[in-house]
Chain A
Amino acid sequence: MWAALLSLLACAGGWAAFGIVLRTWVVEERGNGVLGRVLGALRRRAWSRAVLLAACALGAGAWGWQRAQAGDEPLEATPGGRLSRVRLPLPQGAPAAGGSALYIRHCAWCHGESGRGDGPSTAGMVPRPRDFVRADYKIRSTAHGRLPTDEDLFRTISRGIPGTPMPAWERFLSPAERWELARHVKSFSPRFENEPREVLAVPGAEASAERGRASYRAARCALCHGEEGRGDGPVTVTLDRQWGLPAPARDLTRGWTFKGGHEPADIYRRITGGMNGTPMGPYADLLPEGERWDLAHFVASLDREPEPPGDDSVVRAAGVGPDAAWPADAPEWRRVRALVVPRAAQIVLDPPLRWWVPTSDTCAIRAVHDGRAFAVLVEWDDATHGGDLPADGLVLRFSPRPAARPGPFLGAPGDPALLWVWQEGMAPEEWSGSGDERVEVLRARFEAHAAWSQGRWRVCFRGRAADVPGLVAGGPVPMLVSIQDGSRPDRGPWKTLPTVPVLLLEVGRGPAAWFSALAFGLGALLGGRWILRGVAP
């Protein structure tokens, strides 16, 4: 807001000075050459010169500040380390404008342009729209008097408030747009910047879930669903890999994939009644009612992806210190926001089919950079690795054409591709391709580190931004993430691919950005003065 005010001031001052100069030029300096006229005008009106310079300086300062604001937000610890859609980053390049335009278009009618709940259609509206400036919210998961969490705002925007004029916006707006609006709503109150917003504990459910953890063990759920619930238990893996009779157990960490709903009541029913025709038989006679409830609460507590991934596609590499050489399984990565992207089937020409056997339907991508080096962490679920299975692998494919859709995987003449290739148990390789037959294998200029644990791969690539064509701070580069699962015939085109995200090294903020803004403004002031002195007699 200050930046906008400064810009406004600078703009007004600049126009005023320009007007005065123009007037002087036209009225009083008739007869001289064009340059002579301007300089004469400036000489005569010394005060207007000062105004012009001040406008320049103010404008530069405001620009610098905006640049600084455009940087990433400080890294936040997500509660409980949840890898969740609700923590996904929002587009920040022009977020305020986008959010504000959406807000004006969809929200301001009731909530008012200034967020005071006094929009043009509120006459006689009962209940009154929320006053965002007062920031007093009814629907929260936090303590009384506290602010709601981002998830609370998102949920209310998405689902609306039944019985009021507030509609469920999930019918009209994409998740990304709804997140933008949640963000904009927060901007009406400075309290959101520093007040804590702890989620209220639900002791009954939590204690129940804790008891359910024991039931999960006693009822031998992990035999199929795996120790951490990723659907990678020994029975599931053996039936699929050893016998070729897949009976996939649900990955309990992804609520949005539960076919019958992921609320505790849904889960309770599934446990009690089982699922016909699958190894998931009924537990009605095996576990007492209370234990089934505990189990349902425990299963609900495993859910880390309650919502399906949205249409965000920007992997924002947050600026961090130069010591961010974290291994793939380092806890520090948890603090970096993840972009969860869906993986979808490829259409294969020969044989004609749609390749529909993804082992994991999403992958999570995180990235950081320190100005020179950058690191990308990709996580995906894969129940098996090693042994006599073909190797698992990961390929990051960069293309130097930022705006274009990525061309053929191995590039094409005139459309080169740079591939960073990691395969389990092998040294990383760097491929430079300009066509299927024209792939050059280079010495890898990056490091790869991989860790597999409880059915999940975490693979981290670290390299220099300068080695990736087109990758400069602030400039997005398409980065295709190709995952190869050795236990599936994932080869060549026979694989699933995620939507193609772009990698964006965000402009760092902090002292450097501030100094650069200050220096720019000061430089403009002094430089302008010097030029004017030089031409003055």
Chain B
Amino acid sequence: MRPPAVAVGLALLVATPLRGEEAPRLLNPYERVKNGPPLTNVVHKMEIPWIWTKLRRPDHHPSARMPPLGLADDEARDVLAYLASVSDPGPPGPGWPTWAAKTFEEMSGDEAAEADALVERGKGVWGRARCTICHRVRGPGGGAIGGFVDLRVGGTDLDFASGRLKRGWLYDWIRDPKRYFPRTLMPRYDLTDDEVRGLVEFILRDDSFQPAAPPDGGGPEPQEVLGARADRTSRGRRVIEMSRCVVCHDIRGIPEVLPPQPEDPAPQKGTFEWVVHDRRCLTCHAVSGRGGTYAPDLTGAGSRLQLEWVREFVQRPDLVRPLSQQMPRFNLSAEEGALVADFVAAHLRASAVPDEIPGGKPREDEEARGRELFESKGCRSCHGVGEGPGGVVGPDLADVGGRLRPGALWQHLGSPRARNPHSQEPDLALGGDEARALAVYLSTKRRRR
């Protein structure tokens, strides 16, 4: 069904930021030229047999999107040798306890208990960080970004992680993804050393991440790759150049063929732009048409959301839509939370959203009328309000007054598809006074802060 023209027009108005307020130019993480990850330190990232397999048979991994290159065994060996020769001296990452290299069966009782505790901690981090939004693990779950937004940017499938990824690299990656891959869509989570170690152990040891099929045999031994002679590495370099690997991957020492990309001007630390860049907010959210579509569009969010709620939510995301996606916990500091909230309130404004409910101060009887309307219009079938029965299809309204500004509430009730043309909210064709009464009532729904 096509939304009425008025609603579309209103949506356009709402999506237009206020004039005079210069909106910051946020970097769109989707604008990148190369699809593949950098290969410069790939020998620190993956075990040699897996690189060997990937080079010879990219389709060994069921969802791989690398073209088959038809490399002969010798050519694959040469390529590996070259990639090793341009890597930083390794291995990366911190030191590991002695049990790290053992399987659970090989560990002593104390070691197993220690490892087990770490894995459990990692499992908790995995859930809070909502890794499955982007990363597909075996089975139907996950891969939402890949499926939802843009085929180009799905997170790596992790059901091959165990035995394929190297411990030290994984630690460094989770700590600061941009150090290895400046243009990655992966956010940085402010995790503690223990949390990262837990996540690493969980990914490397949990059964869900075991590869379904082993890597191909017959590949070179690590020593053979790492200590290859110069003739071998130069042959590998030639194969890489001829195969145009640099169209998709950054590889140290190989000349570019595509136009050079300007470096991301990294925003200044301590600014809103830096938080957006660091935490990759635009992987899921969009502002003024830049960014992803997985999470709500934040254009004009400052006119809709309560400042206090934003500050709290970005630090400790709470459930808003019980049946829908949830925001991961990025562990923003209180200062960062305030920074985000202030910026959203000041800059992400929409002129079409009134600050207050039009028609003067709310009256007592209006609140009662609104409560009545809430019951009689059947709002409860989709929304909970913190008291009595309530549905879970729509957002929980127990704190809707604390979350949304009254003017935005009023506007949404009057024309539900004004801001978001795909909103599920039914248009009840409320009269002016009805919308006002309902908005007055809902504004009173606040959780104590």
Residues of A within 8 A of B (CB): 219-220, 223-224, 233-235, 237-239, 242-245, 247, 274, 276-281, 286
Contact = CB atoms under 8 A, between A and B. Distances in A.
Contacts of A238: 65-67
Contacts of B70: 223, 234
Given A220-B243, A235-B243, A238-B66, 18 more contacts: A220-B69, A223-B69, A223-B243, A224-B244, A234-B69, A235-B244, A235-B247, A238-B65, A239-B248, A243-B151, A243-B152, A245-B152, A277-B259, A279-B244, A279-B257, A281-B244, A286-B241, A286-B242
Contacts of B69: 220, 223, 234-235
Nearest to B238: A286
A16 B68 CA distance: 83
Interchain residue pairs A-B with the least CB separation, the first 9: A281-B257, A238-B67, A234-B67, A242-B65, A220-B242, A279-B247, A277-B259, A235-B67, A279-B244
- For chain B, which range describes its interface: under 10, 10 to 19, 20 to 34, or 35 or more residues? 20 to 34
Interface string B308-319: 000000000000
Contacts, number: 58
B255 A244 contact: no
Nearest to B247: A279
Nearest to B65: A242
A176 B259 CA distance: 43
Contact of A244 (B152, B241, B243, B258): B152
Interface string B232-248: 00000011011110011
Contacts of A223: 67, 69-70, 243-244
Interface in B62-83: 65-70
A237 B67 contact: yes
Nearest to B254: A281
Given A219-B242, A286-B238, A278 B68 contact: no
A126 B150 CA distance: 70
A133 B299 CA distance: 81
Interface in B248-294: 248, 255, 257-259
Interface of B: 35, 65-70, 150-152, 238-239, 241-244, 247-248, 255, 257-259
A422 B345 CA distance: 58
Contacts of B244: 223-224, 235, 279, 281
A270 B110 CA distance: 66
Contacts of B151: 242-244
B343 to A, nearest CB: 32
12 contacts: A224-B244, A235-B67, A235-B247, A239-B67, A242-B65, A243-B151, A244-B152, A245-B152, A278-B257, A279-B244, A279-B257, A280-B257
A192 B241 CA distance: 52
A238 to B, nearest CB: 4
* Residue from the set B65, B241, B257 with the largest chain A CB neighbour count within 10 Å: B257
A399 B60 CA distance: 51
Contacts of B238: 286
Contacts of A280: 257
Contacts of B239: 220
Contacts of A286: 238, 241-242
A243 B65 contact: yes
Given A234-B68, A280-B257, A243 B242 contact: no
A492 B248 CA distance: 34
A270 to B, nearest CB: 14
B333 to A, nearest CB: 37
A1 to B, nearest CB: 61
A279 B247 CA distance: 6
A247 B241 CA distance: 17
Contact of A277 (B67, B255, B258): B258
Contacts of B243: 220, 223, 235
* Residue from the set A243, A244, A279 with the largest chain B CB neighbour count within 10 Å: A243
A286 B259 CA distance: 20
Contact of B258 (A220, A237, A242, A279): A279
Nearest to B257: A281
A235 B255 CA distance: 18
A277 B257 CA distance: 6
Nearest to B242: A220
A233 B67 CA distance: 9
A247 B238 CA distance: 22
A239 to B, nearest CB: 7
A222 to B, nearest CB: 8
A239 B151 CA distance: 12
Contact of B247 (A219, A233, A239, A276): A239
Contacts of A234: 67-70
A247 B65 contact: no
Contacts of B241: 281, 286
